[in-house]
Structure 1
Amino acid sequence: MIKSRPFMLTIALVFQGLFFSVNASGDVKAKISSGADREEALISASLSNENSHGYPFSKGGLYSAPLLVKGRVVGFGDEKLQTKHARQYAERGLVDLAIPELQKTTELYPDDIEAHAYLGWAYSQKGLIPDAVRELQKVLEMNPGLQKMPFDYPMVKDIPATVKEFTTSFEDVIDVINGFSGAHELLGLCYVLQGRLGDALNEYKKVLELKSCFVRKGVTVHPHLNLPHQGGGIQGNNEYSPPLVGGVRGGGELLRKGFIANGKKAISTIDQAIREYEDVLREMPDCVEAYLKLACAHAEKGILDAAIEDIKKVISMEPDRLEAHVYLGCFYAKKWMLDEAIKELCEAKELRDCILEKLITEGESSIRNCMFDKAIAATREAMKFDSRNRKAHWLLALAYGKKGEMDEAVKVCKEIIGLYPEDIHAYTFLGWIYAQRDLFKEAMDIAVQAVRIEPENADIRALMAFIYASRNQIHEAIAMCNMVNNKASGENVPADYGWVKGNVTSIEQKLREVIDVLKMRPDYTEAYLCLGWLHSKNGDIEKAIPAFKKAIEIMPDSYNAHLCLGNMYVRKGEIKDAITEYGKVLEILSKKAQDSMSLGLESTRKGDSGQAVNYFNEVLRVDPECEEAYALLADAYEKRGLYSVGMVLRLQGERLKQGAHN
């Protein structure tokens, strides 16, 4: 009898576990009796009675107690079933129950991507951003493809359509309140709800970065809680001065150290900030900035109703205050009042678009008037409101290029290509910058990428003609020019890129020196070529063209002068004139080839095969399709005992002959 007592106790405990759902509702019991829905009903019963059970639910979750599933007792050791139930917790929104179970699963199965994904979901729901970042990073490390495709959460299908609509609207205007970590946290959560884990991770990292900035600066409250200096500043600027404490600026130290009320109770920094802004508003009831900061403070503390009221007061005082509408939409969304949030964001977008239009117009006008610093300032300001605005980026690149800050122009062009991989203007401009710096390989790489996007684009073909000509590949340059002419139409005419500058140090001094030389020797061809080249590198093509023409006037058969003049016409977009000059280059080369052919034959007759090789190579450099030159060069090599070289040359000559017949 004594030995049987432990066994009887065990049986009693098992039965206690088997009938844990005794307090479930009648309809749940009916489901259990039906058999088909037995497992689902038991889980539902366990979830519906979670508060009526003490120990099993307070320590370790549901699966610390035995569970009946399909007629068998399941204990803590059945990990697969635990994993399934943990995910069902998350799917039902029971994140506090899901988190500990999912943590156990990830400890047991570190490579279980679904467990990490569900745990990231649960952490996101709870606002535990560092934990969510850790889990989402693990998911994306295990499956990098999820950077671009959504994770297949079963919960996604039940997400209201308004969540996607809000997400799209908020993405479009979030730059206006880019320094508010709560905005990025909200957008990250929206991404998680749609399974967009890569996008969510990016937003959550911004949250952590913003908060880590507070630590680095020694500030424990959100930067939007700091009032600006008297006189305000540019709307949307995220730089703020220290907060007011007792009417005196520089009170951040008090916030960092904490505040003791009546010498007894410590007040948190966020509560202290709220009190300070309330004090400001008692003295300055119309202070819009104070209301904005107070609203952010209330939102940080989670008092969303107060935050909404604060922002509404701002809008009542300044109806066109852009960030106020974005904040209000954000705060509504945090309360899941998505219809109201979308309405506010639509109004914000209209205001934003008006501001952008004014700034873009100002940027265009400033570039036309050569006020490049003003254009840069206007476009930079526009990008604060819309960081992805294509036109603002293009105007910024153009302004930097016109100003001569080509390194900055390169950076912006690369940003445009990153944001808009099919923006042909960015490729063209970047290619011309590289070409002007004599980086022809990089320029051609860019041109090849662009041709894949728009094979018949005139600007890109003109750029390629310039690159070929600069490499002395005149036939290829003419072919590119002919392609431009054949496809030329009203909208497909190459633009003028003659203003793009190169990278020549002390160019103004060098220009003065060359001009001084020409004053002493006005018929010095090389000096005119040098002058044209310097003007070309300085982006002054209208001065470069006359210099090259003067060189041709003095020396009509100058290969370099005609080549450079042809290049200037290509840069200017005057393709027919470029073809004319390139044609003259070929005529000069043809004459040189004939001379080299004659000299090669003469060397062969004299038995000087080494000199003959040099002359025939020169012929083929000028005219790679001269069949006779291949045969003569082969003879010359064979006379020097290099029969294998001769064989290859003869085969090439035969291929050219067959091609001509075909």
Structure 2
Amino acid sequence: MINRRLNNEGQHRETLFPINKILIAVVCVILIFILIFFLYPKPFRYFAFYASRVKNTFSYYVLNSRPNFYYLEMEKNGKDIRAGENEALDVTYRDEFVIKSVVSDDLTGKYMNVKVEGLNKGKNDLGVLLKGVELVDKIIKSGTMINDSGIVSDYKILINYRNKKIASVPLKVVITPQDWFRFAKDSSNVKEQIEYLKKAIDLNKNDISVRKILAGVYSRQGRLDEAIGQYKDVVELKPDDTIALGELAKCYIKKKEYDESIKISRQIIKINPKEVQAYISVGLSFAEKGLWDQAIQNYREAVRLEPDNYPVRLKLAEAYKNKNLMNAAIEEYKYIADHSKEADLALLSLGDIYLKLKKYESAIKYYKEVIKKQPRSVAAYANLASAYAGTGKWPEELDNLKKAVSLSPNEPTVRFNLGAAYDRKGMNSEAIKEYEHVLKVNPDDADALERLGDLSLKNKKFVQAVKYYEKLAAKSSKNGTIFANLGFAYGEMKKYAASAENYEKAIKYGAKNSNLHYNLAYTYDKLGKEKKAIAEYEKISPPTKEVLSILGQFYLKEKNCAVAIKQYKKIAQIEPKKAESYESLGYAYTKCNDLDAAIKHYRIALKYDREDDEAYAGLGEAYEKKGLYQEALKAYNSAYALNPESAKAAQKIPKMKIKLLQEKAQKKIRSDEE
């Protein structure tokens, strides 16, 4: 019994021994694999990967399972790469790639195909050259939302087995600032350009090049505040960027903020004292402010740094001219004419200076030089005509104006000058034709409207004159001269209310016309507004004899003798040796019953003109009122003798004789009574 038990235990130990060995061996193998995994992970993964592939391939071919996708074999920018499901493929506009093969359980790849979303290359993109720029451009054009980093992850490479999707490789399309810049450059739509450039800046806020380009677009579009904002951002990023500072100064000039431009330009000069454009900007700013000394100083410094910068020399010459330093201006223009290949503007300016100085022969010389170089220069012919006009050579003036017109038939200034030339010679119909042509080109040309109005007024075509002046008045609502002419034209048309209205406006807006108050007074008379008329007559300074006479008669009618006589005395002061002056005073004194003064002034009148029948008649009336009938008869007889057609004398003589007989009879009765 005991032996048997021992035998059983021995057999049990023999059975456990190989099991223990196996367990130990398994543990060792596991430990070895773990050790290999940590010490040599890559070969282990390869081993595991290929072991899995063997198993999956067996399942595909033997068990007809769906094939597993492992990766794509590709060539990107000349380098071989692999792309799997778990890692996105980066694509930028610079990238070019080809999908060479699909690695899957289908070893032949017979039933596999790939399709890159967003690129319409066909049914199968295997072996096709694919360009990242095409995908980038499609994304931008489609308006797809792009995050702040510029990454779009909406696209994939689809792997299909028997036209059914089995896997996909994600694409990470990277939109760079350069992409937006490309689109901005290629677009002819300014609005699109601006949007593309703004998006480029959003992706790289420190890209000063794109900011400068955007600022330039804004500046060309006249969006100066936005341009200034971009240039300021550039300067904040790079304070010594003289290009950005220079453009910023130009923007301020365009905005007429000249002090800011000067400040920025001086900042450039501090950075680089030889920056010519900075001196030019300072010069331009001072010139616009009318500070010619400072402008000249900066232009001269620019010329010193760049002696052959002829555009600056032109600016310097112009500044000299505006400062009235004509000799210095002439010297600059002559330097340009002698040294520059493009001297036409300098020659034209020399002609203009000599024309202004009334040195017409010199002006003619330079204008002819311009014409020799530029036979189609309208300005040269037009100004040459002005120079000939200065010398009094009307035929030459006319010939050159006609030549200018033939070169530019619709140039309003030239046509106007031709009209003015005809106007000066009294060739009204030709002048009118030219002025009317000016209006065809520019219906609102004020000078042509005024000349046509004046010619119409001169030719007594008042309806036409009103048409032109009314149009001009609508444009120049405070031009007193226009309203004065309108008042006259309406007056001649007997439209007195309109005439008065326009005369009133002419006076209100300060028209310099000595007849205005008289014409308005006359118009008020026609309208029956006597007191308004008198008020206007009173404003005439100095008053004429006619005005004083009108005022005197009015005040006599109003029985305001003192003021009336004052007016007549002024007539005597104006014409102290004319009988009519004293005759008027005699008449006024008679009306005011100051008969002695009346007789005195009638006698003074007769002293200056013994043949004045009206003075004798007036003197007779004064004597008659005073009861001196004999003297009255004598005066009336003298009046009648000088003018037998004098109705007053003819009537008064018999009356005076009767008065004398009556007087004589009364004296006899008194004598008999005594």
Query: Is TM > 0.5 for Structure 1 vs Structure 2?
Result: no
Measured against the shorter chain, the TM-score band is: under 0.3
Structure number having the greater helix percentage: 1
Larger Rg: 2
Q: Give TM-score, length-normalised by structure 1.
A: 0.27
Larger RCO (CA within 8 A; separation ≥ 6): 1
Structure number having the greater strand percentage: 2
